Chain A
Amino acid sequence: MSTLNDLQLDALRELANIGSGTASTALSSMLGRAVDISVPTAQALPFADAVDAVGPAEKLVTGVVIGVVGDMEATVLLLLGERDAATLCGLLGVDPDDELAPSALGEIGNIVGASYINALGAMTGLEMEPEPPQSATDMLGAIVASVLAGRAAGDDIALVLDSDLKVEGEDCAISFLLVPTAGGVQELLTRLGLGD
C-alpha cells in the first residue's frame, strides 16, 4: 500500500464521509442535539507524518480506541480535547471528574464507532465486528503512535481517514480516525472495484 492514487484516496474519503455521517446521526440521537460533520480528509502518510498530521504531540486528549476484526482489520480512534470531553460529559449529565466519566465517554465511542463501522460494512459487503472500546487520557502523540504501532505494524505507511463531528451550539468536537491495516486497505479498495 505504499502508494495510493488520487482516485483511490477519493473513494476512501467518500467511505469515511458516509461512515461519519451515520456516526453523527447516532451521536445526535444520543445527545438530542444536531451534530455537524466536516468533509473528511484521507491521507496515506509515513508513520511520523501521520502523527504530526493529527495534531500537537503533547496535547492532552482523551482517546477512545475500538478495534475492528473480521474481513477488514482496522482501528477506529475517537479523539476529544480536554474541554470537548468535559462538554460531552455535561451533555450526558455526568460530572467530568466522576469516575464514571471515562466509561461514559467509552460508551459514546462505542455507539458512534460501531455505527461508523457498520456503515462501512454495509457499503462494502465486508464483515466487520467492533471490539469493546478502551479509553485513555494522555498525550495525543502517544495515543496515535500506539495505535499505529499496534495495527499498521507491517508497513511504513499509515492510511488516516480523519473527520470531525461538531455538536451544534456547543464548543465540542470529536475527531474521528480510521486506521486500517495494509491488508485492510486493499480489501476495502477491492470491494470498491479499485484494487491493484
Chain B
Amino acid sequence: MAAETMVRMGEFACSAVAGQVLVSLGLGSCIGLALLDKRAAVAGLAHVVLPAAEGRTGSPGKFADTAVEALIAELVGLGARRIALEAVLVGGASMFKLGGGSGMEVGQRNDEAVRAELARLRIPVAATDTGGSRGRTIRVTVGSQAVTSRAAGDQEVALYPRIPAGVAA
C-alpha cells in the first residue's frame, strides 16, 4: 500500500502523483475539503479548523476563507485545470456545545464558510458528508480521484467520483 500523507489540523497538501493518498484522520468540527480535477490526476486536501482568519496568522489551510484559494493555486501549479475542479466536503460535526451558547456551532459555521467560499470561486460541490455529531476520516486517492469518508466505528463510504448513470463499472 502506498504511504499515506497525513493532512493534520490547519494543514493542506496537493499531489499529482497517481496512487498517493491524502488523509485527514478524526475530523470533528473541522472540515476536510478535497478539491479534485475531474479529468486529470491532480487532487488536494485541506484540514480547515475555523471559518475565518480574521487577521490571525497561520497556515492558509486552517481557515475557510484562505484554504480554498490556497488549494486552487497549488493545484493549478501542478497542472490542474481550474474549470475542471470539483469539491468534496467531509466533517463539520457538532460533538460538543462549547463557547457559552454564542449561536452556531464551529462545525456548522465551518461548513457554511467553506461552501460560501467555493460558491464565490465558482467551484461546484460534487459530494458531501457533513454535520451530525460524529467524527470522520477523509481519504483522497490521487489518480482514481476517489474520496471516501468513514465515521467512528463505521465502514468507509465512497463519496466520489459519482458513477454516471448507465455506465457499467
Contact = CB atoms under 8 A, between A and B. Distances in A.
Given A48-B10, A141-B28, A151 B136 contact: no
A47 B9 contact: yes
Chain A interface residue number, banded: 20 to 34
A58 B99 CA distance: 25
B98 to A, nearest CB: 4
B30 interface: yes
Nearest to B136: A142
Contacts of A67: 98-100
A150 B29 contact: yes
Contacts, number: 112
Interface stretch (A4-12, A22-30, A108-116, A131-139): A131-139
Interface stretch (B33-41, B89-97, B115-123): B89-97
Chain B at the A interface: SS class: loop
A144 B25 CA distance: 12
Contacts of A147: 96, 98
Nearest to B134: A138
Contacts of B98: 65, 67, 75, 146-147, 150-151
Contacts of B99: 67, 150-151
A149 B28 contact: yes
A43 to B, nearest CB: 15
Interface residues of B, number: 32
B152 interface: yes
Contacts of A149: 9, 28-30, 49-50, 106
A94 interface: no
A153 B25 contact: no
Nearest to A155: B56
Nearest to A50: B9
B106 A150 contact: yes
18 contacts: A47-B10, A48-B9, A48-B10, A57-B26, A58-B25, A58-B26, A60-B153, A67-B100, A134-B96, A134-B97, A138-B134, A139-B28, A142-B95, A143-B26, A144-B26, A145-B27, A156-B58, A156-B62
Interface of B: 8-11, 25-30, 49-50, 56-58, 62, 93, 95-100, 106-107, 133-137, 152-153
Interface of A: 46-48, 51-52, 57-58, 60, 65, 67, 69, 75, 134, 136-151, 153-154, 156
